[in-house]
Amino acid sequence: MSKAWKYILMVSVVISALAFMSPAMVYAADTIQVGIVLPLTGSQAAFGEIEKQSFDLALDEINAAGGIKGKKLEFLMEDDTGRPEVGRSVAEKLITKDKVVMLGGGYSSSVTAGLAGVAQQNRIPFLINTGSADDITEKGFDYVFRLNPPASEYSSGVEEFLANVVKPKSVAILYENTKFGTSSSKAFVKSCEKLGIEVLLNEGYEHAGIDYKPILVRVKQLNPDIVYMVSYVMDAALLMRQSRELQLTPKLFIGGGAGFTLPEFKENAGVAADYVVSATLWHEVLPLPGAMDYFKKFKARYNKDTEYHGAEAYAAAYVIADVLKRAKSLSPEDIKQALAQTDMMTAFGPVKFVSYGKKTNQNKLTTYVVQWQGGHLKLIWPTNLANAKYVYPVDWLKVWGF
């Protein structure tokens, strides 16, 4: 066979192969695909939306700057609907069908725990940006890494604020009966023991309820100095609206992060949101490189404020990009190795995965305290970083218009 005929035959084989490839397969050759799992519909969709928008914002910036080694980075977004079984199913699809090089996302702890199991079983790297139940990074999974602090560390900033400012004698704790809520409430009980605060009530509730007045009446009868709540956004807003209706007036209402920091909390709680305090993992005024820039870019693009959930996703996108740039190849082992060697600063804070106590591949970060003032979330603690003076004590009846 002549060289000419060999060349023609080779070209024919290539053309035939391309004919049987889907457009996505051809396109993927010029892209690096990462699977992102978030709650885009259902009761947790507000969290999924702010995180997806932040991932999208970061992705556009990463690709505009050249992508990953000359290739375009692509995030394949999948909706877990807030249900663990759906999360596991879409994760399996991303790994086995879409052939993503790694996973990201993970909002609710219940879903994230399932995603972590799927990732470990399939030996595919998974970077968690939000799911925070402590046990997720306590299973010894070497393919699972978490950017945000575990739930047990959320209240460290609040603990300092209580010790130095409020100095309460008693507390009622209400929490959503989920992995996140349970883990957070247990941690806060330990904080109360440390501070000598008597826990008068520590009770879980089913999320997405329509009437929390029976449990709030019990809280009012106990008359605690503070009410500490761990809730997603709609429950958080309803708890505060119904506390106002019942004229439940502790010295302070405190949220354990989650729903109490989203803009939707203020929108749905109305005046009942004013001066509510919450734990937070981030604020745009913190002296972190890129923090305020991210906040401004997000607001310009989406015409709304962002907060720590969005900052987690934005930072996670940049960690993913950094890891893929440093990885020797796109094999799971090389990506896992690059994740383990991560040591970088992001708009959310420093990211370095360490092992301590029972935890493996866990990032450690400081937590802070915010308060709703004048319709905006203000950083009030620690005072040397604050952009507003805390309001305490609070005349709730006057604030609520009674």
pLDDT tens-place string over residues 335-356: 999 999 999 999 999 999 999 9
Does the structure show a pLDDT above 80 at 220? yes
Looking at every residue in the chain, the average pLDDT score rounds to 93
Q: Which residues contact 383 (CB under 8 A, 6 or more apart)?
A: none
pLDDT given at position 2: 53
Q: Alpha helices, DSSP H only, in 341-395?
A: none
pLDDT score recorded for residue 16 = 47
Question: pLDDT digits over 65-89, tens only?
Answer: 999 999 999 999 999 999 999 999 9
| Long-range pairs for 331-338: beta carbons < 8 A, 24 or more residues apart | 332/101, 332/102, 332/123, 332/124, 332/125, 332/143, 335/101, 335/102, 335/125, 336/125, 336/142, 336/143
Which range among 19-23, 49-53, 144-148, 358-362 shows the weakest confidence by mean pLDDT? 19-23
pLDDT at 11 over 90: no
Q: Residue 177: pLDDT above 70?
A: yes
Read off the pLDDT band of 27 (50, 70, 90): very low
Tell me, what's the pLDDT at 124?
98
How is 140-153 classified by DSSP, letter by letter? --SSEEESSPPGGG
Task: Tell me the mean pLDDT in the region 370-379.
Answer: 97
Residues forming beta bridges with residue 369, ordered by sequence position: 279, 381
pLDDT at 15 over 70: no
Is pLDDT of 162 > 70? yes
* Dist. CA 260–CA 235, nearest whole Å: 9
> How is 9-69 classified by DSSP, letter by letter?
HHHHHHHHHHHHS-HHHHHHTTEEEEEEEE--SSTTHHHHHHHHHHHHHHHHHHHHTTTBT
In sequence order, the β-bridge partners of residue 104 are 36, 127
Q: What is the band of 7 on the pLDDT scale with cuts at 50, 70, 90?
A: very low
SS3 171: strand
Question: pTM of the entire structure?
Answer: 0.89
Q: With bands split at pLDDT 50, 70 and 90, how would you rate the model's confidence at 1? A: low
pLDDT higher than threshold 70 for residue 21: no
C-alpha 386: how far from chain center: 22
Q: Per-residue pLDDT tens for 235-279?
A: 999 999 999 999 999 999 999 988 999 999 999 999 999 999 999
pLDDT at 258: 86
The most distant pair of C-alpha atoms in the chain lies apart, rounded to whole Å, by 96
Whole-number Cα distances in Å, 15 to 12, 21, 86, 174, 352? 5, 10, 39, 64, 46
363-371 mean pLDDT: 96
Which domains are delineated in the chain?
A: 24-149+288-363 (3.40.50.2300), 153-280+367-399 (3.40.50.2300)
Q: Which residues contact 319 (CB under 8 A, 6 or more apart)?
A: 127, 147, 342, 344, 346, 351
Answer with the residue of higher pLDDT: 4 or 50: 50
* Residues above pLDDT 90, as percent of the chain: 89
